[in-house]
Amino acid sequence: MLVEFRVKNFRSLRDEQVLSLVASKDKTLQDTHTQATGINAAPTLLRSAVVYGANASGKSNLIKALQYMRGVVTESATAIQPGQTFAVQPFRLDADSASQPSEFEVTFLLDGVRYQYGFAMTAQRIVSEHLLVYKAFKPQRWFERHFDSETGKDVYDFGPGLKGPKNLWEGATRQNSLFLSMAVQLNSEALRPVFDWFVNRLVIFNEQAQLNPQISIQMLKQADGRKEICNFLSSADISIADIDVETRKVPGQAVHFDLVAGKTEVRAEEMEEHKLRFHHVTEQGKAVFELMDESNGTRNLLFLAGPVLDILSKGLTLVIDELDTSLHTLLVRELVRLFHRPVINTGGAQLIFTTHDTSLLDAPDLFRRDQVWFVEKDRDQTSALIGLSEFSPRKNEALERGYLMGRYGGVPFLSHTLGLKH
């Protein structure tokens, strides 16, 4: 489970921003909306969090920051070549920030162990990197790395908790690669859980990482999977009793690279084509619809179904940008509630998403106060992340009205003329 994410000097997030999933001492909805960890430092974690903000406020940059961190972890040792620069984007509207490194850090729980991992980077190199491991209450510093500008070299400090050929891993780590990533490539079993958390346990959907319908389609082709998806859709009050999948081979083309000839060629190949039929059952009767006959919300929920069911069963962390652009507000509510049902969310899965849908703020028992966050951009164009709890709202306060009135920030600065000349 994700405990905390920190970011500094990335796009509009100039100053350090902290998204915390640590639950407050508030006992409201504790049995459904929080997950006990058995760890003193973070006894309970939130199963979900929602982030609000006006267009261009920076809420999507928060998701992009976590996504960028994930990308550097997964690719710096393999996809990034020696001498190649990173496409990192610091805050560029003041000269000092533009020349400073961007910083990222996550804290997460995995198999009862708390990991705190982070790094700082410029376009040219990794400036610093560290990993703390909490197997007991006291942290163990497994490794720390920083760039010494006087010698032009990276300096490493290893703790006794990290086992393996550390000198070998250090020697193989380039200035533009992470030690974590390189060590795992060289078969570090001790560091693999940290690397695998980014690869396998953190799932991000946004404009740069779109939903793949194939996951749901493959589940529909199996009896158990089809039943799970239909139950999932029914829980969202969609009257689909069954879904048929007809698969056929159709002519297609695929691009291949010939290593010997050193050139690409297009080959004719058979491709799989899937046709879906939806069986609706209501009190008034039955009907069968094809995919294009269904609403956008139903189609999007179907494509989400496979990944979400997988995430709920494995206890993963799902991060979605602009969830309300894909789903009707009632479907969003039902999706959030799936994560809040302990009988369904048995593995401690988490949902973090951004939205403009203010009606969710007053939906009955949908969120605790500590699950709601706002992003606001100031006059200097820097974005700040603020938790609703900081405003100490009353238990029965009309949150949607307060938000739209600007009490909590996160709404756009607008001139009364909207820039129009009279």
- Residue 102, domain member (yes or no): yes
Q: And the tokens for 357?
A: 């849908």
CATH number, domain with residue 113: 3.40.50
| Domain stops at, among 291, 310, 329 | 310
- Residue 16, domain member (yes or no): yes
| Domain stops at, among 260, 285, 310 | 310
pLDDT for 169 equals 96
The backbone region for 244, taken as left when phi is positive above 0, alpha when psi lies in -120 to 50, beta otherwise, is beta
- Residue 316, domain member (yes or no): no
pLDDT for 257 equals 53
- Residue 230, domain member (yes or no): yes
Q: Do 251 and 341 fall within a single domain?
A: no
The backbone region for 409, taken as left when phi is positive above 0, alpha when psi lies in -120 to 50, beta otherwise, is left
Kindly tell me if the per-residue pLDDT of 18 is higher than 90. Answer: yes
Q: Do 13 and 144 fall within a single domain?
A: yes
Check if the beta carbon of residue 9 is closer than 8 Å to that of residue 91.
yes
- Residue 315, domain member (yes or no): no
Q: Do 115 and 260 fall within a single domain?
A: no
Q: What is the chain's mean pLDDT, rounded?
A: 87
Q: Do 198 and 237 fall within a single domain?
A: no
Give the CA-trace dihedral at 121, 128, 201, 91, to 10 degrees: -30
Q: What is the pLDDT of residues 217-259, one digit of tens each?
A: 888 988 888 988 888 887 766 778 888 888 877 676 665 555 4
- Residue 374, domain member (yes or no): yes
Q: Do 147 and 232 fall within a single domain?
A: no
Residues 6+ apart with CB under 8 A from 49: 19, 21, 350, 351, 352, 353, 371, 372, 373
Domain that holds residue 250: 212-310
pLDDT for 253 equals 62
Q: Do 297 and 336 fall within a single domain?
A: no
Taking the model in full, what pTM does it have?
0.87
- Residue 285, domain member (yes or no): yes
| Domain stops at, among 281, 310, 339 | 310
Q: Are strands 102-110 and 48-53 parallel, antiparallel or unpaired?
A: unpaired
Q: And the tokens for 221?
A: 């082709």
Check if the beta carbon of residue 249 is closer than 8 Å to that of residue 107.
no
Q: Do 143 and 7 fall within a single domain?
A: yes
Round to whole Å and give the CA distance between 328 and 235: 15
Total domains, the chain: 2
Query: What is the residue-wise DSSP string for 61-86?
Result: HHHHHHHHHHHHHHHTTTTSPTTPPP
The backbone region for 406, taken as left when phi is positive above 0, alpha when psi lies in -120 to 50, beta otherwise, is left
Round to whole Å and give the CA distance between 92 and 233: 45
Q: What is the pLDDT of residues 289-347, one digit of tens each?
A: 888 888 787 888 888 888 899 999 999 999 999 988 777 888 889 889 999 999 989 88
Q: Do 277 and 393 fall within a single domain?
A: no
Q: Do 146 and 245 fall within a single domain?
A: no
Please count the residues of the chain. Answer: 422
